[in-house]
Amino acid sequence: MPATPPSADLILRRLASSDTEIKLKAIREVKNQIIGNRTKKLSYIKLGAVPALASALAEADAASASGSSLIVQSAAALGSFACGVDAGVRAVLDAGAYSHLIRLLSAADNKVVDAAARSLRMIYQSKLAPKYDFFKEQDKHFLLSLLESGNENLTGLGTSIVIHSCETSDEQKILCSDGALEKLISLLDGSLSQRDSSLESVATILKNNPEVVSKFVDLQNGRSLSSVIELTKDRYPRTRLLACSCLICVKNSSFAYLQDVGIKSKLIYILLELLDDSGQVGDDASFAFSSLVAEKEDLQRLAFEANAIDKFYDHLQNRALHPKRLEGIFLALAHLCSKLECCRSMFVSLQVVNILLDALTHADANVRTAACICLKSVSRSVKILSAGYFMNERIMAPLIRLLSDPSTSVQVAALGAIGNIVVDFTPQRSTFTQCGGIKELVQLTKSMDASLRLNAVCVLKNTVFHADKMCKEGIFMELTVSSLASLICDPEPSVQEQALTLMRNLVDGSMDCVEYAFAGGGIILDAVGRQLQKFSKFGIGIQAMYLLVNIASGNETHKDAIMQLLFSQAENVSHSFFSRFLRSSDNILRTAAVWIIVNLTSLASPGAIDRIVKLHNVGIVSQIKRMANDPCMDVKLRAKQALGQIATLGDS
Amino acid sequence: MSLFWLVIRQLAEIEAMAASKKVITREEWEKKLNDVKIRKEDMNKLVMNFLVTEGYVEVAEKFRMESGTEPDIDLATITDRMAVKKAVQSGNVEDAIEKVNDLNPEILDTNPQLFFHLQQQRLIELIRNGKVEEALEFAQEELAPRGEENQSFLEELERTVALLAFEDVSNCPVGELLDISQRLKTASEVNAAILTSQSHEKDPKLPSLLKMLLWAQNQLDEKAAYPRINDLSSAILEDPTV
């Protein structure tokens, strides 16, 4: 037993030997060295063994006995290199072994076929495997022939190809319409491994595709669906899980399917029970649970009644959980608590948050992300926020630290949680500031990553909503006028919209607050004006209009500035953005636009008469008159109010 | 299994009517037993399943010819599986690993625990044979990297290497690793993995049926006195003690 592999030269020379005996022995030795042994795989890859094996495979003659052995051994070795090691998959593909393995699937010798199929299946377990083209007639037929071959290794390869390569809805449709789905269903009656891989491929084809699901449901008068339902009772946990996954795809495609409470609760109970499996099935069960209850209040209620939260909590008590398991459980809790107050109360009363706090500092980024998402979901509760349950240093401090996490997804998730918690229902908003949260947030508004900027601005927007003067002042100083202006002109429209809303919340309130809009020599209003000229989406127009509404509620200078912004290019007013907004199809946008006029013509304002004259001259008054019978009640109300003020002042 | 469900149904019936313990005589019991129809083919399948799973290939072959029962697996694969099992049982672990890899290279590649246990067994055999230096080198080269990947492997590895620290291994705390039972444990793990890879149940059905029989009798004991099977090997009905 050589504990250290022979030298590179020697191995490569023997693998390439012209003596078949020596060559075969060398290949078999490499194979036996690397199977199950990751370290050896990597070192042989470095030695360059993979190309040598690939050429042995390519050169051997499948029709001769010695050639057949060479192929079986080298295919097995190549398959092992591709098993569980990405570098191995890459090496095998780079060495050109793929096309030879495919060719050997049609060999006459069954041993050769089996070896090639196993090897290819290993390759298809990896994300790096080449994408299979289902649209190519020839490839499609080949796949179908694999699925109906009756050879377990070939059907196994066929299902692996489907699971790996079927991604788009067109691919799902073609597999459904060309008989692959039926063939996969017929494998449900096959051996244990055929059944499991068939279920997994069926789920792949059904996922997020209502059209395919509706075909599947009607297949064989519903017998296919029934047999999948039957398999949820199977004695093998993995089979039960996969059958549930298929049914979840069906359930998620339309409200019309699997409406019966019996089957819905059955799915919940099975998945909760599968959590007890200590292996991968248990890990995957919580993810399947998430996709079952996501966005579905009825299922969340059933899960609540099935004591799902207790069950997850029990599992969390085990301190040595695998990261995947922790992630899955926190995401499942997040989905459970996304709508129902009873779930959130249960979460709080079980004090799950104590365990969640540990997860916020877990070494695995996915666990940290999941914990934040869970916290975000639970803090949707006004009741919990009002009780100030989360706004304390114990929770805020680690959350704020996550704002500078190396992983962007953790940062985004932490922003999401903070964004909910800072919505003020308590006097303790200052905890957030005291923990240094504002500084971190402002830093993130300057990130290169658009999702971070977006979420950071969003949290700031929530923080200043109805906040006191001191809070606003602190944020405004930290953020600075110039970066506010550049956020309003951010390349991402979604960031622009949030920045405008932040500005709108800032200037909302006392007269002093309106001054924020004029700081820095008016660069903010300039930025707003530029965005309005471009007007790329309703949301931006609406937020900008409401910002102007708030500013127009200010003093004479403020109102005049708005007049200047709206009507500076007087000759062309009917084509101006403002005139267009008054005619917009969006009710809220029209409402906001008229509201500005209401504020500009306020009866208490000394300069109102001059502004009315101007509004007359540019044709806005006649436009408002036409809106007095607007189908939208809000618009109608504001338009009448504006016209009333204009008439009163005009008469005086 | 139909037999099992019949017993359960009878149990339920008895439960329904019996408030106090009911006595069932041998005649009544035998009459009931005679009413249970079990197809010969099903019995034969059970026997074949046992022979195949346990690896009695020659008996299975004979049984097939005599009873016409087709095994659900190619009998040739049993021979291969038994060869692997025998190799582990006789301490030729390296040979066993190569045989498994020839049978199906995926088994050890996708089953790290089994692979580790085989390597551990290999280490045990080296220690048993007094090849200390080779054992140390093997532990370092082959097993240590697996220990890095998995905490529980590391603990098992430490326990195994501890064998080297004792003069008298037969009388040390980890001495049981050198027992034949350790080989048998490993051998049965390999056997089960090969069966699973062939989509075959890893345990024969017969023993679990016997377990069910015992369970059903225990349940019944609480409700009734009846002719019981106490000796499973003879399956003789023994009169109820009233």
Task: For A322-365, write each residue's pLDDT tens digit.
Answer: 899 999 999 999 999 999 999 999 999 999 999 999 999 999 99
| C-alpha count within 13 angstroms, C-beta hemisphere, residue A296 | 20
Which residues of A lie inside 8 Å of B (Cβ-Cβ)?
1, 3-4, 28, 31-32, 35-39, 76-77, 79-80, 83-84, 118, 122, 152, 191-194
Question: Has residue A108 got a pLDDT over 60?
Answer: yes
CA distance A249 to A147: 22
Nearest Cα of chain A lies from the Cα of B49 at a distance, in angstroms, of 15
pLDDT at A572: 64
CB contact under 8 A, B142 and A76: no
pLDDT digits (tens, 9 = 90+) for A262-274: 899 999 999 999 9
Of B97, B112, B137, which has the smallest distance from its Cβ to A32's Cβ? B97
pLDDT digits (tens, 9 = 90+) for A427-436: 666 777 778 8
CB contact under 8 A, B141 and A1: no
Question: Has residue B215 got a pLDDT over 90?
Answer: yes
Confidence of residue A393 (pLDDT cuts 50, 70, 90): confident
Interface test with B, best of A29, A30, A37 (most B CBs within 10 A): A37
B174 versus A414: the higher-pLDDT residue is A414
Please state the ipTM of this predicted complex: 0.79
CA distances from A535 to A159, A538, A540 (A): 49, 8, 7
Of A38, A76, A192, which has the smallest distance from its Cβ to B105's Cβ? A76
Residues of B in contact with A28 (CB under 8 A): 98
Start-end of CATH 1.25.10.10 domains in chain A: 1-129, 529-652
Pick the CATH number of A529-652 from 1.20.272.10, 3.40.50.280, 1.20.1280.290, 1.25.10.10: 1.25.10.10
The two three-digit tokens of residue B35, written as one number: 């009413």
pLDDT at B114: 96
CB contact under 8 A, A32 and B101: yes
CA distance A547 to A554: 12
Residues of A in contact with B141 (CB under 8 A): 3-4
Confidence of residue A3 (pLDDT cuts 50, 70, 90): very low
pLDDT at A448: 92
CA distances from A64 to A23, A27, A56 (A): 15, 18, 14
Nearest Cα of chain A lies from the Cα of B239 at a distance, in angstroms, of 37
Of A3, A79, A152, which has the smallest distance from its Cβ to B105's Cβ? A79
| Nearest chain A residue (CA) to B150 | A322
pLDDT digits (tens, 9 = 90+) for A627-648: 999 999 999 999 999 999 999 8
CA distance A451 to A412: 7
Interface test with A, best of B74, B108, B109, B202 (most A CBs within 10 A): B109
pLDDT digits (tens, 9 = 90+) for A460-489: 998 888 888 888 888 999 999 999 999 999
pLDDT at A2: 44
How many CB atoms are located within 10 Å of the residue A579 CB?
18
**B98 in reach of chain A (CB within 8 A):** yes
CA distance A202 to B8: 37
Q: Write down the CATH number for the domain with range A1-129.
A: 1.25.10.10
Q: Phi, psi at residue A275, to the nearest 5°?
A: -60, -25
pLDDT at B222: 87
Percent of chain A with pLDDT over 70: 97
**A193 membership: H or E segment, kind and range:** helix A192-206
**B224 membership: H or E segment, kind and range:** strand B224-225
CB contact under 8 A, B141 and A3: yes
Can you say whether the dihedral through the CA atoms of A444, A445, A447, A449 is positive or negative?
Answer: positive
Residues of A in contact with B108 (CB under 8 A): 35-36
A8 versus B226: the higher-pLDDT residue is B226
Of A3, A36, A152, which has the smallest distance from its Cβ to B115's Cβ? A36
| Nearest chain A residue (CA) to B134 | A3
Interface test with A, best of B106, B107, B120, B195 (most A CBs within 10 A): B106
Of B98, B110, B142, which has the smallest distance from its Cβ to A83's Cβ? B110
CB A604 within 8 A of CB A558: no
pLDDT at A545: 94
Residues of B in contact with A1 (CB under 8 A): 94, 134, 138
